[in-house]
Every structure is written in C-alpha cells, then in structure tokens.
C-alpha cells in the first residue's frame, strides 16, 4: 500500500473491525443491547459502512457525523446524539432524521431542544447524561465522569431535571446515559458506575417510560507490547501492572449489574472497535545525529497523528520489513520525530529500536482510533491517505490531499 499510495497513509483492517464488533455483540448477548459505535474515533465512510452492515448503531457528536452515518447507509433510528454544545441547526437535522435519542448534557440544552422540536411540530426523544462522579483512572484530558469536568448533569440534580423534562411539551423521556472517560483499561470502574447509578435508573424507570440505559464507551486498548521477555504478556499504556483488558473482562463486569435493571443497554465503544485495527505507515526520510542523540525524521507528523503530542501517549513502532537479518540489527535508542516545526512533533522519545536507515518503512501501531480524525493541515501539510485491507485485497478509502486542496475554499478579499 505504501508503494501504491505513498506515505504517510493510514491502513485499517476490515476483518479486525468486524471481528471486534461481532465478539462484543456476542459477549453482550445476555442483555437486550445496542452497540452504538462512537463515530468520532474514526469516521471514514468505509469504516461506518462495515459497522452499519454488521448491525451497529452509532453515537454521534455533531451534525456532520450524522451526515456521514447516513451517507454510509447507517440507520438514524439507531443513533444517539451526544455533546455539550449541540447547535440549533444540528438539533433540527437530528429531529428531521429521527435519531434514537438526544443525550442531553444540561438543563438549558433540554429547554432548547424542547423549543426547537415545538417549532418543527416534532417530538424529541431524550436521555439525560448523568455524571456518576467516579474516577476511571485514566488521563485527565479523557476522563469525563467526575464532577469537575464539563460533561453531564450532576447526580444531585438528576431527579429535578427529569421532572422538568417530563413537563416539557415536546420532549419524550426515553433513557438514561453516562460515560465515564476513555482508555479505561480495568473493568472495575465500569461496573462501579453501573452499580452506583442502578438505584437511580430503577427509580426513574418507575416514573417515566425509560427504554434504555446507555453505559457509554471508554473501553481501553493495549498500546504497549510486552517488554517482559518470554512472558507473552502485553502491557497497557499507563501504569505499571500487566493486566490485559479484553472484551470478555468487560462483558463479565457489566452484564451482571446491567441485567438486573430489566431495560435495554446501550454501549458506545469507539477506540475498542477500531484502535488496534489500524496503523499509520510512514517512511524514514533522514537519520540525524546531534551530540549523543539520534533522530529518525519520518514523513508523518503531529498533524497526521497528534496523540503522542496531545496525551503523551505511547505507540508501538515497528519496521514493516522484518527479515531475520534485520531483526538481528543492533538495538539502540532513537527519537522518532516528524517534520513539523514544533518540539512536540514526536512519535517516540529514546525508543529502543533496531538500527534504522533512510528509506525504511515504519508502522506506527494502534492508529485506528483518534488518528486520522484528529489530523490537521498544520504547516500546510495535506491530510494523509487512508486505505482498507479486506482479506487479500486492499483499497484506498480516502485520497491523499493535494496542495491544491489546501487553498480550495480560500477567498481573495475585495
């Protein structure tokens, strides 16, 4: 693919994505459940189509994401619409398309949705997003379920806000929602949050026509491969313990507390389905030595994959060609950096790597989630290409941008 489409290019595996979906779906079989894939993790239309065909619903955070889901053949009646700042235009569009539920994040938003639905003579199905105020032990930028961040409605306000929702003329109460954060690599916080909210959900169910409880997404993936020789263990990307978080672990944790609620359960995984189904292919342009330090300057930059710069996140990096003699190459420490004019433009610092040469092709692993979707044109770098592998076939699913694309839409002033 690198030879045919050039680099940097994101490459995804259709087989892995569909397999992750099918295994999660099977593990949740004891529950009346709906998997709403969180589109923001990877919103390429080809990926959405794979999941729509597999039966997935979608968790969307903007009108643009709803537009993409519809373009991919997804069913709006299986879409939950999340986000703290939904605009009038987005609310109107979601009402017209008939989404499954608006996941409402504040009292003013609720009033706004009621007004807009009234003006369109439509009814708005809603779930309130409850902030369960628990610590999911993840990075502060991706923790969302404690009372100190902007998401959801505080526990002590929930009963009152449902009461006022019930009085609104154009609102139908259909669910309860929570989401505690992202890249959570233990099962326990998910189970604790459900146990914590269970009495509230039961109480609400006795008063309103609640159909579902959405327990959000946030299931973490393994970014770091074992360094522990011979153990065969994989490590995750923060903390020192060697626990492995699997679909089975997740289901074992959430099924018992969810089952006894007797309502539909919605899950909203993003990263879990696509994160380890993608890599970013990049080529080494230059090897540079500076004092004791050594750098491999690659053709991908922080504009293509911002996670290391934004979250200090770890991505495994492997040479694409790994012949025996290459495996025996001397291991030494090297910084793998991009061409962007920022010191934060790195993929790995002091990483132990086999000797790299100019022209080598590298795969930056675990690039399927929050990779391309966060890419930008910073430094006027065209957005990378995306490709999909399916069995022994592969195809381009998004063309690389050109320099012409960079100025398209720009207007000369009068």
Ligand X SMILES: *Cc1c(COP(=O)(O)O)cnc(C)c1O
**Catalytic positions:** 341
Handedness of CA 182, 187, 189, 190 (dihedral sign): positive
Using the rule CB under 6 A, give the single segment among 217-225, 320-328, 374-382, 397-405 that binds ligand X.
217-225
Alpha carbons 80 and 68: distance in angstroms, whole number? 14
Least Å distance between CB 184 and ligand X? 8
Nearer to ligand X, 257 or 269 (CB): 269
Residues within window 340-379 making contact with ligand X, judged by CB under 6 A: 369
Applying CB under 6 A, does 57 fall inside the site for ligand X?
no
Minimum distance of ligand X from residue 200's CB (angstroms): 18
**Residue 43 interacting with ligand X (CB under 6 A):** no
SS (H, E, C) 153-209: EEHHHHHHHHHHHHHCCCEEEEEEECCCECCECCCHHHHHHHHHHHHHHHHHHHHCC
Residue among 217, 308, 368, 382 that touches ligand X (CB under 6 A): 217
DSSP-derived letter for residue 39 is: G
Does 271 interact with ligand X (rule: CB under 6 A)? yes
148/410 with CB nearer ligand X: 148
218 binds ligand X (CB under 6 A): yes
The encoded tokens of residue 311 equal 């979250």
Residue 41 makes contact with ligand X by CB under 6 A: yes
Interface with ligand X, residue 282, by CB under 6 A: no
Least distance from ligand X to the Cβ atom of residue 214, Å: 8
Residue 114 touching ligand X (CB under 6 A): no
Helices and strands, number each (H, E), in the chain: 13, 18
In 3D, which of 90, 21, 83, 31 has the Cα closest to residue 52?
21
Query: At closest approach, how far in Å is the CB of 59 from ligand X?
Result: 5
Question: Closer to ligand X at the Cβ: 280 or 353?
Answer: 280
Q: Convert 352-378 to b/e letters by CB count within 10 Å (16 or more is b).
A: ebbebeeebebbbbbbbbbbbeebeee
Could you tell me which residues come within 8 angstroms of residue 212 by beta carbon, excluding any fewer than 6 positions away? Answer: 34, 101, 127, 174, 175, 176, 263, 264, 265, 266
Closer residue to ligand X (CB): 220 or 301: 220
The site for ligand X (CB under 6 A) is made up of 38, 40-41, 59, 82, 179, 182, 216-219, 268-272, 369
């Amino acid at each position: 693919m690198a030879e045919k489409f050039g680099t940097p290019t994101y490459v995804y595996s259709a087989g892995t994505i569909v397999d992750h979906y099918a295994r999660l779906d099977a593990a949740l079989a004891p529950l009346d459940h709906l998997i709403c894939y969180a589109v923001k993790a990877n919103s390429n239309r080809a990926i959405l189509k794979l999941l729509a065909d597999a039966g997935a619903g979608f968790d969307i955070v903007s009108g643009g994401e709803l537009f993409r889901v519809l373009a991919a053949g997804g069913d709006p009646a299986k879409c939950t619409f999340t986000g703290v700042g939904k605009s009038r235009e987005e609310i109107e569009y979601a009402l017209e398309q008939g989404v499954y539920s608006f996941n409402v994040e504040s009292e003013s938003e609720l009033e706004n949705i009621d007004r807009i639905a009234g003006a369109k003579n439509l009814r708005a199905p809603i779930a309130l997003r409850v902030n369960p105020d628990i610590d999911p032990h993840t990075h502060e930028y991706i923790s969302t379920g404690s009372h100190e961040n902007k998401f959801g409605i505080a526990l002590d306000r929930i009963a009152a806000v449902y009461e006022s929702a019930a009085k609104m003329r154009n609102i139908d109460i259909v669910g309860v929602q929570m989401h505690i954060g992202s890249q959570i690599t233990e099962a326990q916080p998910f189970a604790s949050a459900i146990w914590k909210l269970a009495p509230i959900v039961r109480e609400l169910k006795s008063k309103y026509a609640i159909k579902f409880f959405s327990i959000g997404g946030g299931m973490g993936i393994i970014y770091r491969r074992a360094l522990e020789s011979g153990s065969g263990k994989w490590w995750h990307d923060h903390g020192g313990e060697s626990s492995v978080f699997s679909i089975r672990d997740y289901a074992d944790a959430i099924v018992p507390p969810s089952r006894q609620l007797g309502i539909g359960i919605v899950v909203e995984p993003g990263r879990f389905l696509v994160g380890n189904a993608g890599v970013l292919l990049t080529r080494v342009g230059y090897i540079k030595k500076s004092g004791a330090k050594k750098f491999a300057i690659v053709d991908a930059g922080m504009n293509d994959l911002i996670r290391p710069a934004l979250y200090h996140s770890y991505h495994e990096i492997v040479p694409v060609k790994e012949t025996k003699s290459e495996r025996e190459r001397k291991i030494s420490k090297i910084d793998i950096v991009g061409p962007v004019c920022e010191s934060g433009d790195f993929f790995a610092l002091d990483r132990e790597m086999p000797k790299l040469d100019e022209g080598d092709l590298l795969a930056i692993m675990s690039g399927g989630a929050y990779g391309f979707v966060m890419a930008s044109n910073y430094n006027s770098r065209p957005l990378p290409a995306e490709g999909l592998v399916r069995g022994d076939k592969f195809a381009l699913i998004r063309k690389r941008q050109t320099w012409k694309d960079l100025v398209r839409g720009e207007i000369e002033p009068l």
